[in-house]
């Protein structure tokens, strides 16, 4: 049971990342893989600040901002220097590897006996209960904020940018600025995910972000499949789908481990699973 | 009033594909005038519209709108004065946004898009009323996604959207060319009604000789980047279908 509870906690921790991928991939239609770097960046910022004696509450907005700057850089390289989005993301991700290493000063930074966001908010209960409650609160705040944002005039312009760029330019929107903002938001959320996961697992590691974009992508796709029966998909439903998708993803991985699949093959399992999830809608629509 | 003064535009300058489309081109469009532009392919019609919209910047010359020089103003900033209808009926609307959301964006074309929810009940009632006038039965589908509508319906809404904020100039690039004949006739009629009712200054590129006979105050025929014929008022009314075919053949 606790096995699956910890899967739920990880799923909630990764939900912020999944919502970030939802924004870059589904709203803006940009394949952004800055993610691998900005996720680690969020974790590194958390570990360095908290182990340096700063409050986890202070580290949270700084982690978001750091990720947002990374995302904005990708956006600027893509829109202003006219570099392919995929390549722009790889460039920033590569550069971030050095930045992260320089920030930490080594490849792994443990957070043993340091305070965490989970025990800084005076919530009663065991460690796992605290984690669960704090994660629910943070993810809810992100969800409500995003749903509100997407309904504002600015949010509508954001959605139209990914949907019909020609039209929204004719309606007076600088789509380059929108894309830079969108990638900043997406990677800010990704960094928050890195910040959360670092505190759940108790350490930051230079390699914690490798292949993480696939986890976000898989979560978004699971969410899409889960709620595809709904005729009218509001942003609220889509984002809820992404969060549930993120949790389900972790459950499935936990299940795979529990039936004795060697941890060495975990990434292989992830890849095959995401492939299955991604291809299901295509096969369905063909029939 | 819209003025083009001494506009020149050459594509692929300095290469083997160099193509001078406009050379010292001059044109004045009067206020509330509905101008039709015809001409064979490559005559410079689309270039002219794109120059006005700002997706192409001229090599030299001036574009003035109510005496304000907008020659180097970027396309998304020109939306302050200019609304556009594209040939592809799907390109004027965002498919994944609802009808209401599309109208919201169009209604703030000349404003900044801020962190403010504008699709409230009052706005909805206003748009419902407006759409009901089209008579297409779409007024009760405001929350439906734009992508679920047909090309004709979407183009009709696009034209209506163009008038939902202050518009000094409406550019129409063969707005009904991609629709079936029956829908095209309906939508063109609708477009004309909207242009007339709001007293819009409009420029429409068209290949339909029937539309030329039926609509507009002024007819301009382009040939090799130059104004070949320019007829308004009673001269425009006198034009016969045969004349048009003759002019194209010359």
Output the tens digit of pLDDT for each of chain A's 287 residues. Answer: 677 888 999 999 999 999 999 999 999 999 999 999 999 999 999 999 999 999 999 999 999 999 999 999 999 999 999 999 999 999 999 999 999 999 999 999 999 889 999 998 888 888 899 999 999 999 999 999 999 999 999 999 999 999 999 999 989 999 999 999 999 999 999 999 999 999 999 999 999 999 899 999 999 999 888 887 666 678 999 999 999 999 999 998 888 888 888 888 888 988 998 898 888 877 766 55
In this complex, which of A153, A154, A163 lies closest to B95 when CB atoms are compared? A163
Q: Please give, rounded to a whole number of angstroms, the shortest distance from the CA of A157 to a CA of chain B.
A: 7
Calpha distance A72→B165 (Å, rounded): 32
Residue A173, classed as helix, strand or coil, is coil
CB crowding B63-79: b at 16 or more within 10 Å, else e: bebeeeebbebebbebb
**Mean pLDDT lowest for which of A95-104, A199-208, B11-20, B119-128?**
B11-20
pLDDT at residue B172 tops 70: yes
Contact (CB, 8 A) for B87 and B173: yes
Calpha distance A67→A89 (Å, rounded): 13
Q: Please give, rounded to a whole number of angstroms, the shortest distance from the CA of B244 to a CA of chain A.
A: 32
Domain B2-95+151-249 annotated CATH 3.40.50.300: yes
Q: Which residue has the higher pLDDT, B166 or B117?
A: B117
pLDDT at residue B156 tops 60: yes
For A150-257, strand residue ranges (E) read 203-205
- State whether residue B96 sits within 8 Å of chain A by CB: yes
Contact (CB, 8 A) for A183 and A30: yes
Q: Please give, rounded to a whole number of angstroms, the shortest distance from the CA of A13 to a CA of chain B.
A: 27
Exposed (0-12), middle (13-18) or buried (19+): which is B33, by Cβ within 10 Å? middle
Contact (CB, 8 A) for A226 and A75: no
- State whether residue B87 sits within 8 Å of chain A by CB: no
How many A×B Cβ pairs under 8 Å?
82
Calpha distance A244→A222 (Å, rounded): 8
Computed over every residue of chain B, the mean pLDDT equals 90
Token pair, residue B25, equals 């081109």
The total of other beta-carbon atoms located within 10 Å of residue B15's CB is 8
**Residues of chain A contacting B96 with CB distance shorter than 8 Å:** 159, 163
pLDDT at A121: 87
Token pair, residue B55, equals 């997706």
| Span B64-105, pLDDT tens digits | 998 889 988 988 899 888 999 998 989 999 999 999 999 999
Calpha distance B36→B14 (Å, rounded): 33
In this complex, which of B86, B105, B143 lies closest to A171 when CB atoms are compared? B105
Domain boundaries, chain B: 2-95+151-249
pLDDT at A1: 60
Calpha distance A183→B237 (Å, rounded): 55
Q: Please give, rounded to a whole number of angstroms, the shortest distance from the CA of A77 to a CA of chain B.
A: 20
Beta-carbon separation of B84 and A151 below 8 A: no
- State whether residue B172 sits within 8 Å of chain A by CB: no
pLDDT-based confidence at residue B29 (cuts at 50, 70, 90): very high
* Minimum Cα–Cα distance from A147: chain B residue: B117
């Amino acid at each position: 049971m606790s096995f699956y509870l910890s899967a739920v906690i990880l799923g909630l921790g990764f939900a912020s990342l999944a919502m970030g991928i939802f924004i870059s991939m589904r709203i803006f239609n940009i394949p952004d893989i800055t993610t691998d770097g900005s996720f680690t960046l969020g974790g590194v910022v958390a570990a360095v600040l908290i182990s340096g004696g700063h409050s986890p509450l202070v580290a949270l907005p700084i982690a978001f901002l750091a990720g947002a700057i990374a995302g904005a850089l990708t956006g600027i390289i893509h829109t202003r220097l006219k570099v392919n989005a995929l390549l722009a993301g790889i460039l920033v991700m590569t550069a971030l590897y050095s930045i992260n290493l320089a920030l930490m000063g080594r490849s792994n930074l443990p957070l043993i006996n340091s305070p965490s966001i989970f025990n800084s908010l005076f919530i009663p209960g065991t460690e796992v209960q605290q984690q669960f409650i704090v994660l629910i609160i943070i993810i809810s705040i992100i969800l409500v904020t995003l749903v509100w944002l997407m309904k504002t005039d600015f949010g509508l312009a954001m959605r139209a940018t990914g949907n019909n760029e020609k039209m929204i330019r004719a309606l007076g929107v600088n789509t380059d600025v929108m894309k830079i903002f969108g990638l900043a938001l997406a990677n800010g959320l990704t960094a928050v995910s890195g910040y959360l996961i670092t505190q759940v697992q108790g350490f930051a590691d230079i390699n914690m972000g490798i292949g993480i974009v696939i986890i976000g992508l898989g979560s978004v796709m699971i969410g899409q499949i889960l709620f595809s029966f709904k005729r009218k998909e509001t942003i609220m439903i889509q984002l809820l789908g992404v969060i549930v998708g993120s949790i389900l993803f972790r459950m499935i991985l936990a299940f795979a481990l529990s039936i004795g699949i060697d941890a060495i093959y975990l990434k292989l399992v992830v890849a095959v699973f995401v492939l299955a999830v991604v291809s299901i809608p295509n096969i369905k629509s063909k029939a | 009033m819209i003025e083009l003064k001494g506009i020149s535009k050459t594509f692929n300058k300095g290469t083997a594909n160099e193509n001078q489309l406009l050379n010292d081109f001059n044109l004045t469009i009067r206020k509330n005038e509905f101008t039709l532009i015809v001409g064979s392919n490559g005559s410079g019609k689309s270039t002219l519209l794109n120059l006005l919209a700002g997706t192409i910047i001229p090599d030299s010359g001036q574009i003035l709108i109510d005496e304000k020089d907008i020659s180097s103003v970027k396309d998304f900033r020109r939306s302050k004065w200019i609304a556009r209808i594209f040939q592809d009926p799907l390109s004027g609307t965002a498919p994944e946004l609802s009808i209401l959301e599309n109208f919201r964006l169009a209604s703030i074309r000349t404003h900044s898009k801020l962190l403010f929810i504008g699709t409230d009940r009052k706005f909805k009632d206003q748009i419902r009323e407006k759409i009901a006038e089209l008579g297409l039965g779409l007024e009760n589908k405001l929350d439906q996604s734009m992508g679920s509508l047909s090309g004709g319906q979407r183009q009709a809404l696009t034209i209506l959207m163009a008038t939902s904020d202050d518009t000094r100039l409406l550019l129409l690039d063969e707005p009904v060319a991609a629709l079936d004949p029956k829908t095209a006739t309906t939508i063109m009629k609708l477009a004309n009604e909207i242009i007339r009712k709001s007293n819009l200054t409009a420029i429409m590129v068209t290949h339909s000789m029937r539309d030329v006979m039926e609509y507009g105050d002024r007819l301009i025929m382009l040939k090799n980047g130059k104004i070949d014929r320019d007829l308004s008022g009673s001269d425009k009314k006198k034009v016969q279908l045969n004349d048009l075919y003759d002019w194209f053949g010359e």
